């Protein structure tokens, strides 16, 4: 806005000095607006570049996931043909060779116990059973997410067959 002191009126017209003062004032206003707009453009450009990078990352992730092979459904390993393996796998609790002999109505003799222990070890080698502690076999359980596959469940002394004096119990659980 032009102030009365900025120009003189002669016959209702502006003088050259008043026009120049008004133009200088207007130039300052427009330059200020241009600076603010440039600042907004810089912010929007940075935001647009960030969005473009994110879109590209999503595209790459999608492409990578589409290239992955389809997961195969879980198929339990094949059991050996001997019927003893079927009987062993029917148990739903941790197994010891002696208990398996008893469950299979075999005479509890060292040769039978060793034979069953070898069968349990063979199933462990094939990934069908896991040996949670020495001589104790069980079917693998799914681990909670994030748990390492090498983790073993913790057991109390009572569960592991050790009494308070840290000596093995006579007999099996």
Summarize pLDDT for 70-95 with one digit per residue, the tens: 877 766 667 777 777 777 777 767 88
Q: Which two tokens stand for residue 19?
A: 């026009």
Nearest C-alpha neighbor of 87 from the set 71, 70, 104: 104
Distance in angstroms (rounded) separating the CA atoms of residues 23 and 26:
5
Summarize pLDDT for 45-74 with one digit per residue, the tens: 999 999 999 999 999 999 998 988 887 776
Distance in angstroms (rounded) separating the CA atoms of residues 115 and 121:
10
Here the contacts of 147-156 (C-beta below 8 Å, separation 24 or greater) are none
pTM of the model: 0.39
């Amino acid at each position: 806005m032009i102030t009365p002191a900025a120009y003189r009126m002669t016959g209702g017209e502006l003088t050259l000095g008043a026009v120049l003062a008004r133009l200088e004032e207007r130039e300052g206003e427009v330059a200020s607006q241009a600076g603010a707009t440039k600042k907004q453009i810089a912010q929007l450009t940075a935001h647009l570049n960030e969005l473009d990078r994110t879109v590209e990352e999503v595209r790459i992730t999608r492409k990578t996931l589409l290239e992955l092979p389809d997961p195969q459904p879980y198929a339990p390993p094949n059991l050996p043909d001997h019927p003893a393996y079927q009987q062993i796998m029917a148990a739903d609790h941790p197994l010891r060779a002696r208990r398996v002999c008893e469950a299979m109505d075999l005479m509890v003799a060292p040769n039978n116990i060793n034979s069953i222990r070898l069968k349990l070890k063979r199933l462990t080698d094939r990934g069908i059973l896991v040996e949670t502690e020495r001589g104790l076999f069980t079917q693998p359980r799914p681990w909670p997410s994030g748990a390492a596959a090498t983790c073993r469940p913790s057991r109390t002394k009572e569960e592991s067959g050790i009494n308070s004096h840290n000596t093995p119990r006579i007999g099996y659980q």
